[in-house]
Chain A
Amino acid sequence: MPRPRRLPLASALLSLVALFVPARADAGPRVPPVASYTIEAQVNAEHGITGRETVRFTNRTRFSFEDLRLHLYLNAWKNDRSTWLTEQARGGGRSDRGVRAAEAGRWGFSEIHRIALDDGTDLTPSLRYVSPDDGNPDDQTLVSVALPRPVVPGETIVFRVDWEGRFPRAVARTGWKDDYLLGAQWFPKLGVATDGGWNAHQFHAPTEFFADFGDYDVTLTLPKAVKGRVGATGVLREEADVPGDLVRVRFLAEDVHDFAFTACPRFEVVRDTFSAAGLPNVDILLLLQPDHRRVRDRYLRAVKAALADYGSWYLPYPYPLITVVDPPWGSHTEGMEYPTLFVGGARWLAPAAAHSPEGVTIHEFGHQVFYGMLASNEFEEAPLDEGFNTYATARTEMAAFGAPSLVVRFFGLPVAFPSVPVPPLAAMSERYDRWVGASRSDALDVPSYRQLDGDAVRVNAYSRTALLLASAERTFGEKTWAKVMKTYATRWAFKHPTFADFLAVVREVAGEAAARAIAGIWSTAGAVDYAVTSASTHRARPLTGYTGEGDARTLVIPKGDAGGWESLAVVQRLGEASWPVEVELRFADGTRVRRPWIGEERWIRYRATGPKLLSVEIDPDRKCLLDSNPLNNGRLTDEAPAASRRWETRLRFWAQNVLEFFALLGFAGAA
């Protein structure tokens, strides 16, 4: 179980704490910190950073580390040769984003001036950029710093880093837009210490992060204009004016693996509290853009729904505060998560039917569990946070708000079609099916940062995994699956789980068959596609010809039919992957016969005699959401043209109007 916590320094600062943070009576044991940071940094009006950090690293592995590996993520936007921008240009990241400007202020960088052990030993001369993932000599997002002697298991070292940097115009995840700043991935940050050495990757366009748990004590000096409008990981402990029209803020956070902050003089500060039986109270701080006032309550309802559902289904939120950031238009920072703080995203005109910002709020909050507490490796196993969380988001969204409807924006003005529901998983299915039809480049078990392109990473991480988990829930039973998820979350909270760990939980709770089915999907790039390729029925023919032997041999030439029907149906597995399904044969007398199909055979032929066969359908309850072509899953023995006629009539009418429009467009005057 996660541990609700108490802030440190409680005795000395108890009265001050009370000003900002409601006391928690139910504090629990702490996570042994691996990498803790004390940071003092100043961010100027030009988005430059000057900082000094003291890092306390405790080696809790069995490995002796001969160097330190530090991420300098902001160098992803240092120049267009970086691995991030190279990958983004070839479709690795969101394609609508890039640094497309000659202005110096739009690029970012991070540079270590000095790194030294706490005894004064200068490590700076040994600093070198490394590119273990792609060998890109121009990438400077990861450095190695040699140590004078290895850090052995159980040992703690302390080192200091003086650095400077600059936030880019936000392209993804971090940076500024106008007077808004999202400071994320902004300080030199250790990789993850594992029994096999450092797990530290370069910054890649389509993937995210991985870090060790620790405590953060961060003091920021910012322009005074943002006073009272700064949000960050953890809780605000101090805020004071500083000469030079500046403000200094200090945030403390425990048992987290990252630290992000945001500041904007336009933020409207909204406070609320979540309370629900059986779950710890949580303060909510919403930093809202003034043009999004109308969605204020929708943000709050969504975050409360998420706190309640994720808390009861997976893990209670253990921190005292959650900060929700509403980013401004065009910031390119929407939809990102950091410990105890996440960035939502809202439109100026946001019809309720679209479930935005509700969907993104639930999703980004959900990362407090699937990333924040279940700190999987996002570089290598992005599905474990994105896919698991997308599945969980869909559940909460449907439970709290129902299915969103189709919303189309015409020249920026949204038009909702309430009669056309688009459940969250339907949208996932659409993306997945399109990718399956076009690419199928990578299996889920390929390290995310090594997959072909951004589409592969996104579809695998979000859509495919979410559909897999939802299919498992439907196939193996809601209760069983809820137990799987709860056990996994509880067992691996505040650790670094892998897919193998999850699979072990599935095997233990849901059984070998479930584990085999999931592992099968995980390890293939292939599609699941079942089809009824034929279904026919005809009057049963009585026996014709000789019967019997010897004297009893008789020639039978029947005059009528035998009564009853003979039916034949063939189901085939057209895809490479399989998933356990059922096949339903529906007969004219109302009988429905269901046969399980583990799905591994390439085809099965069904024969039936008796009442007339009406239809054959694979997976009639639509439990398997991974089927890439659900249109071929069912077949009728007789034609039922009502639906196609209905749509044909409508299509013709709309075509007439479209052509009439062309007459208007092209030629003034008649018609």
Chain B
Amino acid sequence: MKRDSVLVLATRGLFSALETWKALLLFLVLNAALACAFVHPLASALRQTLDRSTWADRLAAGNADLHAFFASFSRTRADVLGDLSTWDEALTGERQERRASGRPAPLSGFFRTSGLSGSAVAFGGLTALLAALFSGGFAGRFGAERERTSLAAFGADAARLAVPSLLLGALSLAGILAAYRFVYAAAGTLYEPDELRYEWEAVGLLLLRLGAFLIVAGYVRLVLLYARAALGQGTPNPITALMRGLGFVLGRPVRTLSLEILFGVFGLLPLLVWLFLGPVWDGKEAGNLALILAGQQLVVLLRILTRAGHLGAASAYLKRSKEAAPSPAPAPAASIASPDSASAPVL
């Protein structure tokens, strides 16, 4: 098997990521803390509504009354949930009723909402910010190839690459939003689904738009991912790193996209397994709760591992291609050793 085959790269990436297990756990803790804060108002409202309600027995028993309960709950506690229609539209692709006056702007709705739906944007942004800082650390450690378990070295890399990481992160976010706005949403204004002869044509076009958006967004992510890997390998200038990432992805569009898809599937797999096979806590047995919480955290950790693994794979791919490339003179990038964080003070 070739050393730069997709599977080898993926395996290398995952093993590299496993070496940074302390950072992964740290990110998991932060993710869990943010999630707790995010759902706290909703959880409180649920407790207020349910704990002394005769609905509690029905909901604890099964799903028969679930729809009726959540329909009433979302209406009576609209202050907690906010307007979910914009999210619903974005996640299902089902267009909300169009007014004769025209369609709502595709993105504006996300910033107008209150309650849980509104705070999702803020919490999402915060998570993304954390992810950007962490990705600097991961990139630095993958570039350094040693002391990957050291949280101190990880922290030093994260701090050192914080600014370029945030810049690349912002570019990634802007790129993906632009792809949504100008590929997916704008393409939707070019035709009226109702005017197509058959529904399958409308569904096909919708899926095409979605596919086009996912591919463009995927490439945006890939360019930024390889740019980040380049940063970790010592390219100090984020613009240069970006150009390097762009060049790298453009030179290997299929293999890099294959990696993206593979890691995407890896990331979804644990969630789907849990969705279909995962146990549900009955709300009573504390022992079961511990097991279920552990299982849930394992699922999230595996997903985080997958993301980090992808960066690890990108870093390995970048390094491997550099090694494979014929170089008449010592390559400047290779000669610049990644700053070794071993000398960084232990935090």
CB neighbours (8 Å) of A422 from chain B are 67
- Tell me if A's interface is mostly helix, strand, loop or mixed: mixed
Q: Is the CB of A649 within 8 A of B281?
A: yes
Judge whether A248 is part of the interface by a CB distance below 8 angstroms.
Answer: no
Q: Is the CB of A633 within 8 A of B54?
A: yes
User: Known contacts being A652-B39, A659-B31, A666-B173, is A329 close to B56, with CB within 8 Å?
Assistant: no
- With A and B bound together, what is the CA distance between A668 and B238 in angstroms? 14
- With A and B bound together, what is the CA distance between A671 and B138 in angstroms? 10
Judge whether B11 is part of the interface by a CB distance below 8 angstroms.
Answer: no
CB neighbours (8 Å) of A667 from chain B are 128, 131-132, 135, 165, 168-169, 172-173, 224
Q: Is the CB of B139 within 8 A of A631?
A: no
Q: Is the CB of A655 within 8 A of B39?
A: yes
| A647 contact from B46, B99, B197, B307, Cβ within 8 A | B46
CB neighbours (8 Å) of B49 from chain A are 631, 644
Chain B interface extent, by class: 35 or more
Judge whether B182 is part of the interface by a CB distance below 8 angstroms.
Answer: no
A50 to chain B, nearest CB (A): 27
With both beta carbons as reference points, the residue of chain B lying nearest to A636 in the complex is identified as B52
With both beta carbons as reference points, the residue of chain B lying nearest to A332 in the complex is identified as B194
- With A and B bound together, what is the CA distance between A666 and B123 in angstroms? 12
Q: Is the CB of A642 within 8 A of B284?
A: yes
- Most A C-beta atoms less than 10 A away, residue of B53, B67, B125: B53
With both beta carbons as reference points, the residue of chain A lying nearest to B53 in the complex is identified as A634
Q: Is the CB of B304 within 8 A of A634?
A: no
Among B165-187, those with CB < 8 Å from A are 165, 168-169, 172-173, 176
CB neighbours (8 Å) of A421 from chain B are 63-64, 67
With both beta carbons as reference points, the residue of chain B lying nearest to A614 in the complex is identified as B54
Interface window among B1-9, B144-152, B288-296, B316-324? B288-296
Judge whether A195 is part of the interface by a CB distance below 8 angstroms.
Answer: no
A372 to chain B, nearest CB (A): 29
B299 to chain A, nearest CB (A): 8
User: Known contacts being A659-B34, A659-B38, A666-B128, is A631 close to B206, with CB within 8 Å?
Assistant: no
Judge whether A639 is part of the interface by a CB distance below 8 angstroms.
Answer: yes
A 648-671 to B, binary, CB cutoff 8 A, 1 in contact else 0: 111111011111101111111111
Q: Is the CB of A668 within 8 A of B303?
A: no
Q: Is the CB of A664 within 8 A of B196?
A: no
With both beta carbons as reference points, the residue of chain A lying nearest to B42 in the complex is identified as A651
- Tell me if B's interface is mostly helix, strand, loop or mixed: helix
Judge whether B335 is part of the interface by a CB distance below 8 angstroms.
Answer: no
CB neighbours (8 Å) of A490 from chain B are none
- With A and B bound together, what is the CA distance between A393 and B225 in angstroms? 56
Judge whether A551 is part of the interface by a CB distance below 8 angstroms.
Answer: no
Q: Is the CB of B125 within 8 A of A666?
A: yes
Q: Is the CB of A406 within 8 A of B207?
A: no
- Most B C-beta atoms less than 10 A away, residue of A433, A631, A649: A631
Judge whether A114 is part of the interface by a CB distance below 8 angstroms.
Answer: no
Among B219-238, those with CB < 8 Å from A are 220-225, 228
B 310-342 to A, binary, CB cutoff 8 A, 1 in contact else 0: 110000000000000000000000000000000
Judge whether B271 is part of the interface by a CB distance below 8 angstroms.
Answer: yes
| A98 contact from B100, B131, B176, B282, Cβ within 8 A | B100
Interface window among A36-44, A67-75, A412-420, A557-565? A412-420
CB neighbours (8 Å) of B130 from chain A are 663, 671
CB neighbours (8 Å) of B31 from chain A are 656, 659-660, 671
- With A and B bound together, what is the CA distance between A668 and B219 in angstroms? 10
Among A554-585, those with CB < 8 Å from B are none
Q: Is the CB of A663 within 8 A of B210?
A: no
CB neighbours (8 Å) of A95 from chain B are 97-100
- Report the count of interface residues on A (CB-CB < 8 A): 77
A623 to chain B, nearest CB (A): 15
User: Known contacts being A408-B92, A659-B35, is A669 close to B225, with CB within 8 Å?
Assistant: yes
| B207 contact from A88, A411, A632, A645, Cβ within 8 A | A411
Q: Is the CB of A411 within 8 A of B196?
A: no
CB neighbours (8 Å) of B172 from chain A are 666-668
CB neighbours (8 Å) of A98 from chain B are 100
A 79-99 to B, binary, CB cutoff 8 A, 1 in contact else 0: 000000000110000111110
Q: Is the CB of A656 within 8 A of B32?
A: yes
Judge whether B59 is part of the interface by a CB distance below 8 angstroms.
Answer: yes
Judge whether A178 is part of the interface by a CB distance below 8 angstroms.
Answer: yes
- With A and B bound together, what is the CA distance between A332 and B97 in angstroms? 13
| A660 contact from B43, B120, B196, B300, Cβ within 8 A | B300
Q: Is the CB of B56 within 8 A of A640?
A: yes
With both beta carbons as reference points, the residue of chain A lying nearest to B263 in the complex is identified as A664
- With A and B bound together, what is the CA distance between A669 and B312 in angstroms? 9
Among A582-640, those with CB < 8 Å from B are 615, 617, 620, 629-636, 639-640
- With A and B bound together, what is the CA distance between A406 and B307 in angstroms? 33
- With A and B bound together, what is the CA distance between A347 and B38 in angstroms? 38
Q: Is the CB of A411 within 8 A of B271?
A: no
Judge whether A120 is part of the interface by a CB distance below 8 angstroms.
Answer: no
CB neighbours (8 Å) of B128 from chain A are 662-663, 665-667
A228 to chain B, nearest CB (A): 21
CB neighbours (8 Å) of B60 from chain A are 640, 642-643, 646
Judge whether B280 is part of the interface by a CB distance below 8 angstroms.
Answer: yes
Judge whether B47 is part of the interface by a CB distance below 8 angstroms.
Answer: yes
| B304 contact from A631, A660, A662, Cβ within 8 A | A660
With both beta carbons as reference points, the residue of chain A lying nearest to B58 in the complex is identified as A643
Q: Is the CB of B283 within 8 A of A670?
A: no
Judge whether A272 is part of the interface by a CB distance below 8 angstroms.
Answer: no
Q: Is the CB of A100 within 8 A of B100?
A: yes
- With A and B bound together, what is the CA distance between A47 and B283 in angstroms? 64
- With A and B bound together, what is the CA distance between A395 and B271 in angstroms? 39
- With A and B bound together, what is the CA distance between A422 and B46 in angstroms? 21
CB neighbours (8 Å) of A420 from chain B are 63, 66-67
CB neighbours (8 Å) of A648 from chain B are 39, 43, 46-47
Judge whether A225 is part of the interface by a CB distance below 8 angstroms.
Answer: no
Judge whether A519 is part of the interface by a CB distance below 8 angstroms.
Answer: no
Q: Is the CB of A669 within 8 A of B123?
A: no
A345 to chain B, nearest CB (A): 11
Judge whether B347 is part of the interface by a CB distance below 8 angstroms.
Answer: no
With both beta carbons as reference points, the residue of chain B lying nearest to A100 in the complex is identified as B100
CB neighbours (8 Å) of B43 from chain A are 644, 648, 651-652
| B127 contact from A410, A437, A660, Cβ within 8 A | A660
B199 to chain A, nearest CB (A): 4
Q: Is the CB of B57 within 8 A of A669?
A: no
Judge whether A328 is part of the interface by a CB distance below 8 angstroms.
Answer: yes
Judge whether A460 is part of the interface by a CB distance below 8 angstroms.
Answer: no
With both beta carbons as reference points, the residue of chain A lying nearest to B69 in the complex is identified as A631
- With A and B bound together, what is the CA distance between A660 and B270 in angstroms? 13
Judge whether B193 is part of the interface by a CB distance below 8 angstroms.
Answer: yes
With both beta carbons as reference points, the residue of chain A lying nearest to B292 in the complex is identified as A649
A418 to chain B, nearest CB (A): 10
Judge whether A152 is part of the interface by a CB distance below 8 angstroms.
Answer: no
Q: Is the CB of B51 within 8 A of A669?
A: no
Besides A422-B67, A669-B307, 9 other A-B contacts (C-beta < 8 A)? A178-B197, A328-B198, A413-B203, A642-B283, A644-B43, A646-B282, A646-B283, A647-B59, A670-B304
By Cβ-Cβ distance, the 3 closest A-B pairs, closest first, are A634-B54, A666-B128, A642-B283
Q: Enumerate 16 A-B pairs (CB-CB under 8 Å) in ascending A order.
A: A95-B99, A328-B197, A406-B67, A412-B202, A429-B68, A631-B53, A631-B73, A644-B49, A646-B60, A655-B35, A656-B31, A656-B296, A658-B35, A665-B124, A665-B176, A667-B131
B residues engaging A (CB < 8 A)? 27, 31-32, 34-36, 38-39, 42-43, 46-47, 49-57, 59-60, 63-64, 66-69, 71-73, 75-76, 91-94, 97-100, 120, 123-125, 127-128, 130-132, 134-135, 137-139, 165, 168-169, 172-173, 176, 192-200, 202-203, 206-207, 210, 220-225, 228, 267, 271, 280-284, 289, 292-293, 296, 299-300, 303-304, 307-308, 310-311
